[in-house]
A and B are shown apart, each in its own frame.
Chain A
Amino acid sequence: MSDKDPKVTRANRPVLALHVPEPHLRPGDAPDFSAIVIPAAGSAPRPRTDAPAADTHSLATNLVRVLGDDHRAVGPWDPKIDPEILRKMLRDMVTVRIFDDRMYRAQRQGKTSFYMKCSGEEAIAIATAAAMDRADMHFPTYRQQGLLIARGYPLTTMMCQIYSNGGDPLKGRQLPIMYSDKAHGFFSISGNLGTQFPQAVGWAMAAAIKGDHRIAMGWIGDGATAEGDFHSAMTFAAVYNVPVILAVVNNQWAISSFSGIAGAERATFAQRAVGYGIASLRVDGNDALAVYAAVQWASERARANAGPTMIEFFTYRAEGHSTSDDPSGYRPVNEGKAWPLGDPLERLKAHLIALGQWDEERHSTLVAHCDAEVRAAQKEAEKLGILPQQGKDNIASMFDDVYADIPWHIAEQRDAALAEAKDR
């Protein structure tokens, strides 16, 4: 090793050793989450929304939880949501889950190239959408399809994007699920991790520059917090006291890498806000009421010019990373079922039942209704075609939108491509 360099040897010093984080369990092991500390629901304090950031920092290692084991809402974070809104959230979660299942299957049937589910994480996007204003702006990752669904974006249009067909507003240019829709406050999803996080800060800076009332929310996964863009977002948000919510969805995994590879052995993701002087909340992401309460708190803070908030949503990626991934190669199977914070959908359902606002029969009806809705949307979308049939018509459109106007060299290439398509 580096024989040219004189090695400093000191007999009484320990030999340096590199620590490479390793999850406790690997394939073949039985799932076991007993090491995870779960504070009781209702036990986390709720600071005033205009409190100094430092007053929130004990929450960075705590866990905001509202739904108790008895399925009742408890403690200072109970958002006391109208049951009508709870039912809307449940319905959206059921829709997302069915949508994910149908589209996953569509990919397996060869109808498209790729799909990503958000199983186990549905509450995060759905309750966030419920807690924020419809006009607020999101800079999402690929796991926040729930935002679009909660905001009433047509399921058929989502599917057309997934099939890259004639109904796809993105004209077949983007990988499935990389949605974009300004009218629904949903910024274009990037395939390049982390880029959207500081962009959300920029949007909120613009809103502040213009004296707007709308705020922005940036989203990132636990793994992608390692990107430099994460730190750019935190710095700009702190420096300009930006009206933005910065959400880290910690679903424990980044493809095959557990959260320890992103630094979670040393500190929570929420704790990163401490060093920037940004308010920080760590939240049970499988508790729709806790998600709602935290986002409501952070929105109020942002709207009052009291500063940005980082929220770590603590959750679990219950299925594979994407249709290209098989998690049985790197983690125990059935870990998702053993996740101690449960299934967000089941927990919200049980809460509504405990409130006397829901029952099994109504739930079956809801599931049947959502299922029919998703199937009908799929049928509509497939009328416009599936991926293997695409890419032959309207080839000229491929050359639009590279620039506002088409320069000569792209016009030439468009003509060549059209001639090529006609060739036998």
Chain B
Amino acid sequence: MATMNMIQALNDAHKVMMRADGDVVVFGEDAGYFGGVFRVTEGLQREFGKTRAFDAPISEGGIVAAAVGMAAYGLKPLIEIQFADYIYPGYDQIVSEVAKMRYRTAGEWPMPMVIRTPYGGGIFGGQTHSQSPESLFTHIAGLKVVVPSTPHDAKGLLIAAIEDPDPVIFFEPKRIYNGPFDGHHDRPVTPWAKHSASEVPDGHYAVPLGKARVVREGEALTVLTYGTMVHVSLAAVEENGVDAEVIDLRTLVPLDLETIVASVEKTGRCLVVHEAPRTSGFGAELVALVQERCFYHLEAPVERVTGWDTPYPHSYEWAYFPGPKRLKKALEKVMGD
């Protein structure tokens, strides 16, 4: 067991899997010698050599396409897209090729690969370093979508993603790489070391895909969330004295419906929280599912807390970000109805 922040935990997952499996290759922009702009791939080139951890040309389309070719050969590409905001040149390859290959070849060419990418705001990155495009991927049949929220889960989920036979888009909440975030941007950042989920087991362990985690048990309402917003939601629930059950979905596709339904049936109320824009966000899917599966248990309409339907505005970061005030209001609404 070691204390790690999320970057170190992800790095450790790379090392564990690269040691165990010679077919795992890592590449991405600045991901080789330098170890990535967030340092997640630090030291891999030193340990595993230049042909297993290397810098890629600045071509997200090329990076994904090369991964397709490598997966077709039989390797397991573990690639980094420097920011989720820069994944779009690779979107055609992901949507048209990676996602559909198993299906269109009747299983002959599965695409086991992991596409890691930092996402989300809260770092004053402006519109091209802050986006949360997960719903552009959850909408695509054939892709699994994973979002960790702690160092412990980051390592375990990444290992599970690498071992998974299908392609996984692995969104890393960059705001909480170095420490959890309660949504109060004016307070000092607490490092992961103070959080129990920074205890990361040595060696191999998997946090299974498709399994949510109940972060806080409660009776009054169910909060469905993931990534950075797990911590923001938890803080809001405590601050407002609501006995909420907070569920960290961890995997968006496939979703842990069982955990969601059991919780909403127990609490009768539900709030969905994500940082991404509202319209056609993943929250819409969650609300629809809860409505379909739990309608007769619901005591109030399901609410959403989200980012606004605007590009991420640089100086209005905290007016955009779904922080404590937006959560408080929504909690009151769901509990009051």
Contacts and interface: CB of A to CB of B under 8 A. Distances in A.
A243 interface: no
Contact of A18 (B22, B51, B278, B279): B51
A387 B309 CA distance: 23
Interface stretch (A144-152, A173-181, A345-353, A364-372): A173-181
Given A191-B129, A329-B34, A413-B278, A173 B313 contact: yes
A43 interface: no
A109 B60 CA distance: 34
B222 to A, nearest CB: 23
Interface in B96-155: 124-129
B126 A191 contact: yes
A416 B307 CA distance: 11
30 contacts: A2-B74, A4-B74, A20-B50, A20-B54, A22-B50, A113-B126, A174-B127, A174-B314, A175-B314, A176-B314, A191-B126, A192-B85, A194-B58, A223-B57, A227-B61, A254-B58, A256-B30, A257-B58, A261-B55, A324-B37, A330-B34, A390-B315, A391-B315, A391-B316, A391-B317, A410-B308, A413-B278, A420-B319, A420-B326, A420-B329
A398 B126 contact: no
B34 A417 contact: no
B33 A175 contact: no
B127 A175 contact: yes
A226 B58 contact: yes
Interface in A222-255: 223-224, 226-229, 254-255
A175 B85 CA distance: 14
A192 B313 contact: no
B197 interface: no
Nearest to A260: B55
A307 B152 CA distance: 58
Nearest to B323: A420
Nearest to A163: B315
A62 interface: no
Contacts of B23: 1-2
A376 interface: no
A172 B329 CA distance: 27
Given A191-B127, A256-B33, A227 B59 contact: yes
Given A223-B58, A226-B59, A257-B30, A409 B318 contact: no
B50 A1 contact: no
Most chain-A CB neighbours within 10 Å: which of B33, B86, B318?
A: B33
Interface string A212-228: 00000000000110111
B29 interface: yes
A262 B128 contact: no
B165 interface: no
Interface residues of B, number: 50
Interface in A1-33: 1-5, 18, 20, 22, 26
Contacts of A421: 319
A242 B37 CA distance: 37
Most chain-A CB neighbours within 10 Å: which of B30, B50, B125, B318?
A: B30
Interface of B: 22-23, 29-30, 32-34, 37, 50-51, 54-62, 73-75, 85-86, 88-89, 124-129, 278-279, 308-311, 313-320, 325-326, 328-329
Interface string A164-208: 110010001111101000000000001111100000000000000
A272 to B, nearest CB: 13
A383 B215 CA distance: 47
B133 to A, nearest CB: 13
Contact of B127 (A22, A168, A173): A173
Contacts of A276: none
Contact of B319 (A192, A257, A417): A417
B85 A413 contact: no
Nearest to B22: A1
Contact of A330 (B29, B33, B314, B316): B33
A4 B74 CA distance: 9
A395 interface: yes
A377 to B, nearest CB: 20
A35 interface: no
A369 to B, nearest CB: 32
Given A173-B313, A398-B319, A409-B309, A2 B73 contact: yes
A231 to B, nearest CB: 10
Nearest to A230: B59
B309 A113 contact: no
A192 B23 CA distance: 31
B314 A262 contact: no
A168 B59 CA distance: 32
B311 A173 contact: yes
A14 to B, nearest CB: 16
Given A1-B75, A20-B51, A226-B58, 12 more contacts: A26-B33, A114-B124, A193-B86, A226-B57, A227-B60, A228-B62, A256-B33, A257-B30, A398-B320, A409-B309, A420-B319, A423-B325
A398 B316 contact: yes
Contacts of A262: 57-58
A320 interface: no
B262 to A, nearest CB: 31
A402 B319 contact: no
B301 to A, nearest CB: 16
A413 B308 contact: yes
Contacts of B33: 22, 26, 256, 330
